[in-house]
Amino acid sequence: MRKTKHTLAFTVALVPLALWANPAASMMGFDGPPPCESKACFIEAVSACKAGASYMTGMGAGASVQYMIDGATEDEGCQLGMVYTQHPESEWTYKPLQFRLDSDGDIETQLKDAVEACLSGQAESGYQCSGPLLEILSPDGET
């Protein structure tokens, strides 16, 4: 029986490939500016709708979320995404959720309200919720 020798160089070379192939990788800040280290930094980035800016935070109860700015919308809003990097409902992890905020409004309040509206299926909220997480939450296709 022939023994195969594995090298660290081969393993390390596969990591960037795996991140590139993973659709959630962009949600985790691997292909954009360095992530914001504070909520204030991220709120400022959303106000300017700085595409690629991201922020990770713990939510308690074993949940962590990564927010990322996708960019400006045609109606001068700002498209954001979020992904749970940890969640007690394991099927929710790494399933992106996108929504729209007004760049000139109270960003912190809008962010909280948008996430609550999207996760509770309030389509009339105006946040234009979409994404794979929303599809898990409403398997019948209604949002």
Q: What is the pLDDT of residues 66-111, one digit of tens each?
A: 999 999 999 889 999 999 999 998 999 999 999 999 988 899 999 9
- Mean pLDDT value across residues 113-132: 86
Banded pLDDT at 29 (limits 50, 70, 90): very low
Handedness of CA 87, 90, 96, 101 (dihedral sign): negative
**Straight-line distance from the first to the last Cα atom of the chain, in angstroms, rounded to the nearest whole number:** 57
Report pLDDT for 62.
Answer: 87
Q: What's the CA gap between 3 and 28, in Å, rounded?
A: 37
Q: Is the pLDDT of residue 5 over 80?
A: no
Report pLDDT for 81.
Answer: 96
Q: For residue 19, what are the CA distances in angstroms to 24, 29, 51? A: 8, 11, 19
Per-domain boundaries in the chain: 8-137
Q: Is the pLDDT of residue 113 over 90?
A: yes
Report pLDDT for 76.
Answer: 86
- Mean pLDDT value across residues 6-29: 37
CA dihedral 132, 65, 49, 107 (to 10 degrees): 110
Residue 60 φ/ψ, nearest 5 degrees: 80, 170
